[in-house]
């Protein structure tokens, strides 16, 4: 019977320790999240903005090339040679 009591007591100590550990880790994770997530979000926002700018630049370059070809073709059709 004393052995059973010791095992139960040991199990309760393990449960208490794991509960404390869990709560401390949750608090630590929350602190780290509060500390680092804003900078991660800012970096992600910058990356998205850069990507959007690159897409705009690429579209602009495509349209510029299309216009150049259009005007070259138009000059040929109108027999205008610079």
Q: Residue 18 has what pLDDT?
A: 85
CA atoms within 13 A on the CB side of 19: 6
The token pair that represents 80 in the structure block: 């205008």
Residue 81 dihedral angles phi and psi, to the nearest 5° = -115, 125
Counting as low any pLDDT under 50, the low residues of the chain are none
Q: Which pLDDT does position 82 carry in this prediction?
A: 59
**What's the pLDDT score for residue 23?**
78
Q: What is the pLDDT of residue 65?
A: 98
3-state class (DSSP) for residue 30: helix
The pLDDT assigned to 1 comes to 67
Supply the DSSP symbol for 79: T
């Amino acid at each position: 019977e004393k052995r059973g009591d010791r095992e139960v007591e040991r199990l309760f100590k393990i449960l208490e320790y794991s509960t404390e550990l869990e709560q401390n880790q949750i608090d630590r994770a929350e602190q780290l999240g509060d500390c680092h997530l804003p900078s991660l979000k800012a970096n992600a926002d910058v990356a998205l903005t850069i990507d959007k700018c690159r897409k705009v630049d690429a579209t602009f370059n495509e349209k510029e090339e299309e216009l150049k070809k259009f005007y070259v073709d138009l000059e040929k059709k109108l027999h205008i040679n610079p």
